[in-house]
A and B are shown apart, each in its own frame.
Chain A
Amino acid sequence: MSTLQEKAIPVGQKATRLVVRRRLTPTVIVYLALVALLVVGSVLVGLRGEVLLDQGGILNILTRATALGLVAIGQTMVILTGSLDLSVAYLVGLTSLIAAETMAGRDGMVVPGVLLALAVAAGVGLVNGLVITVLKANAFIATLGVALILRGYLEDNYTGPAGDVPRGFQHLGYDRIGPVPVAALLMLAAAALAWWYLSRTRPGYHMYAVGGDIEVARLSGVPTRRVIVTAHVLCSVAAGLTGIYLASRLGSGAPYVGTDAGYDLESIAAVVLGGTLLAGGRGGVVGTIGGVLILATLDTIFDDLEVDPFFKDVVRGVVLVTAVALYARRMIANRAPGRLA
């Protein structure tokens, strides 16, 4: 193509810009911010004569990241697919109860308890997915509706913590290797699995495609409905894993363990903080884990500094908006001029 020659210079420029852009993806920014936060936090905590990243500190950060991390991994998948899940918080509570009640203190029931909890979670995810794809309800409303239904079920059937987890199973929640909790490792393993799934497998590719442009995906032969349903099932299963983990940690199931922690909005915040586009199609689990670690680190630093819990909320809100504003600026700067408006 002869005409390409006259474009040779701009293409060159574009290439250098691309390199810069690749270097500073939101994921990279998140981890740079995490490192900066750790440094600043260490200094601030150090000024009080304490150490942020001692064994206890690391343990704290990782423990706090575990449950939110698991939920956020699932949430990443649905958000990447262009959807959203507001039902995870109640689902975490529900699955913790199912696991703990099935186990009822018996060692032999651990596996059935876990499997049943995951099965129920998958079922809820399936409902979410089907309501969105078949009934064509907006994801926000669909999952809000399912959340309300779950809430009704929980309120109607439970009056507080119930069920009992055998001691053997509690090791999942309490064991650690050095300063690293086993559960955090499992969470990271789940993240790795999700990363592999999203960036290496066909269904993962299709999630990006559906989130990027559902029409394009459909015309290209991507089974869009199946992809959305799968994303929701996986998200709910991740919430189910969170419920199981919390059951092991709490020793029983607790109906409001998910909502008290605000896992619905907080997981969305973590995902977006991690650089995933709320509209879908761009981002990934690696960034999400970074986002979760930032939130967990902030929490730990604030605890060490004994900051008023209300102040924490203020900072969380500001951090969230600032981060997303930063990503938005980068996107505009990088966007090729094309469309009129």
Chain B
Amino acid sequence: MTWRPRLAEGTAPVLVVLLLLLIGLAVAGPAYDEPSGYLALLKRAAPLMILAIGQYFVIVSGGFDLSVGALVTAGVVIAARLINGSESATARVILLVLAFGLLVGLVNGLITTKLLVPSFIVTLGMLLVLDGAIFLWTGGAPRGALSAGFRTFGRGAVDVPALGEVPWSVLILLGILLAAALFMRGGTGRALVAVGDNEAAVRLSGGQVDRLRLLAFVLSGLLAAVAAILLGGFAGVSAQVGDGLEFRAITAVVLGGVLLGGGRGSVVAAAAGALSLEALFTLLNLLGVSGALESAVQGVIIIAAVAYASLGNGVRQRLRWWPQQRDSARPAQPAAS
């Protein structure tokens, strides 16, 4: 059997959608005549794409993570209070924010796997706890300020040979995406998808199901912390920076053809879903569609995407499958009676 490049199930539609959107952008906006426009789009989309990658790990292993939006807010607010404008504290606080994301993911994962509470409920609870606790701690509104160093990652750019100025966030995004794609090609990644498909089979194959699912939540938490650093860096301190991001990330993942409930979908497609979503917003903006209708358009699109995935797929699969079954059957022989 020869190896050939191959798209994971459900990846193709999102790439088509993305391509159409990018063409739409090129037609609608003069800024998208040159690469810098797309680079700006990528920079803008980076936090959501990173969140979508994190969310992907959880969804593909059969869960939900509703806590990422609250975690992003928490990350920014914690960073602002602890850094308090002091440049010297920056590195320490960045590590701390990452560790906090990791910890939240760990708690989500432990409650889900050890106490067997559905992840939807666990992370909903975590959302409430984070939302409350973080402002309980800061007394209602964010305090302190982010340092310039902290903000570099979301705001600054770096000179890359041959490419020119590339935003840090784009580099971070590409790094994470590459790592995630490699991870998903590897054994642990495949086992993670298999957990979303059939937990029992993985357990009886000697896999550590709980540890894998825990890993998914930890990665989601960690990546939410990264997104917080980028968003905080991009736009500064805000009390509502993470509002609604959890649903947007889930939408992006689903748009990428990943099956809710787990067991199918690729991480690159999930990231592409997030980029599509962001491109869609930008396009609507360029076309002058009112902000109000934006959400309606978004609603229609995700329903259409999911309907296409489940309806279209079924038909295509059957078309593909049946003739194959026939091929594999033995040649018919006259019945000898």
Say whether A and B bind each other. yes
On A, residues with C-beta under 8 Å from B are 131, 135-138, 140-142, 144-153, 155-156, 265, 268-269, 272, 278-279, 308, 310-318, 320-321, 324-325, 328-329, 331-332, 339-341
In the bound complex, do residue B128 and residue A317 qualify as a contact, i.e. CB atoms below 8 Å apart?
yes
A144-B251, A153-B296 known; A310+B118 contact, CB < 8 A: no
A149-B300, A156-B290, A341-B200 known; A135+B116 contact, CB < 8 A: no
Nearest Cβ on chain A to B310's Cβ, whole angstroms: 4
In the bound complex, do residue B121 and residue A321 qualify as a contact, i.e. CB atoms below 8 Å apart?
yes
Nearest Cβ on chain A to B68's Cβ, whole angstroms: 14
With an 8 A cutoff between CB atoms, is B294 at the interface? yes
Interface 0/1 of B298-329, CB less than 8 Å to A: 11101100110011001000000000000000
Residues of A near B251 (CB, < 8 A) are: 141, 144
Q: List 10 A-B contacts (CB under 8 A).
A: A136-B307, A136-B311, A137-B307, A144-B302, A146-B299, A151-B295, A152-B296, A152-B299, A328-B117, A340-B200
Interface-facing stretch out of B129-137, B184-192, B226-234: B129-137
In the bound complex, do residue A141 and residue B132 qualify as a contact, i.e. CB atoms below 8 Å apart?
no
With an 8 A cutoff between CB atoms, is B203 at the interface? yes
In the bound complex, do residue B124 and residue A142 qualify as a contact, i.e. CB atoms below 8 Å apart?
no
A278-B118, A314-B132, A317-B129 known; A141+B295 contact, CB < 8 A: no
Give Cα A340–Cα B120 distance, bound, in whole angstroms. Answer: 25
Interface 0/1 of B103-138, CB less than 8 Å to A: 000000001000111101110111111011101100
Beyond A156-B290, A321-B126, 18 extra complex contacts between A and B, CB < 8 Å = A135-B303, A135-B311, A138-B306, A141-B254, A144-B251, A144-B302, A148-B299, A148-B302, A150-B299, A152-B295, A152-B297, A279-B118, A310-B131, A313-B132, A317-B124, A317-B126, A329-B116, A340-B200
With an 8 A cutoff between CB atoms, is B271 at the interface? no
With an 8 A cutoff between CB atoms, is B162 at the interface? no
Q: Is the interface of B mostly helix, strand, loop or mixed?
A: helix
Nearest Cβ on chain A to B195's Cβ, whole angstroms: 12
Residues of B near A340 (CB, < 8 A) are: 200, 204
Nearest Cβ on chain B to A248's Cβ, whole angstroms: 27
Q: B199's closest neighbor in chain A, by CB?
A: A341
Partner of B302, one of A136, A141, A317, A331: A141
In the bound complex, do residue B136 and residue A325 qualify as a contact, i.e. CB atoms below 8 Å apart?
no
Residues of A near B294 (CB, < 8 A) are: 152
In the bound complex, do residue B303 and residue A131 qualify as a contact, i.e. CB atoms below 8 Å apart?
yes
Chain B stretch 281-299: residues in CB contact (< 8 A) with chain A: 290-299
Chain B interface size band reads 35 or more
Residues of B near A138 (CB, < 8 A) are: 254, 260-261, 306, 310
Give Cα A131–Cα B200 distance, bound, in whole angstroms. Answer: 31
In the bound complex, do residue B111 and residue A152 qualify as a contact, i.e. CB atoms below 8 Å apart?
no
In the bound complex, do residue B129 and residue A318 qualify as a contact, i.e. CB atoms below 8 Å apart?
yes
With an 8 A cutoff between CB atoms, is B247 at the interface? yes
In the bound complex, do residue B303 and residue A317 qualify as a contact, i.e. CB atoms below 8 Å apart?
no
Residues of B near A135 (CB, < 8 A) are: 303, 306-307, 310-311
Partner of B121, one of A147, A149, A310, A324: A324
A141-B260, A278-B121 known; A310+B296 contact, CB < 8 A: no
> Taking each of B122, B261, B296, which has the highest tally of chain A beta carbons within 10 Å of its own beta carbon?
B296
Nearest Cβ on chain B to A64's Cβ, whole angstroms: 17
Residues of B near A315 (CB, < 8 A) are: 132
Chain B stretch 26-76: residues in CB contact (< 8 A) with chain A: 64, 66
Nearest Cβ on chain B to A217's Cβ, whole angstroms: 19
In the bound complex, do residue A148 and residue B295 qualify as a contact, i.e. CB atoms below 8 Å apart?
yes
Nearest Cβ on chain B to A63's Cβ, whole angstroms: 22
In the bound complex, do residue B129 and residue A145 qualify as a contact, i.e. CB atoms below 8 Å apart?
no
Give Cα A272–Cα B120 distance, bound, in whole angstroms. Answer: 11
In the bound complex, do residue B121 and residue A156 qualify as a contact, i.e. CB atoms below 8 Å apart?
no
Residues of A near B297 (CB, < 8 A) are: 152
A278-B118, A341-B204 known; A310+B140 contact, CB < 8 A: yes
In the bound complex, do residue A328 and residue B116 qualify as a contact, i.e. CB atoms below 8 Å apart?
yes
A135-B311, A314-B128 known; A156+B292 contact, CB < 8 A: yes
In the bound complex, do residue B136 and residue A314 qualify as a contact, i.e. CB atoms below 8 Å apart?
yes
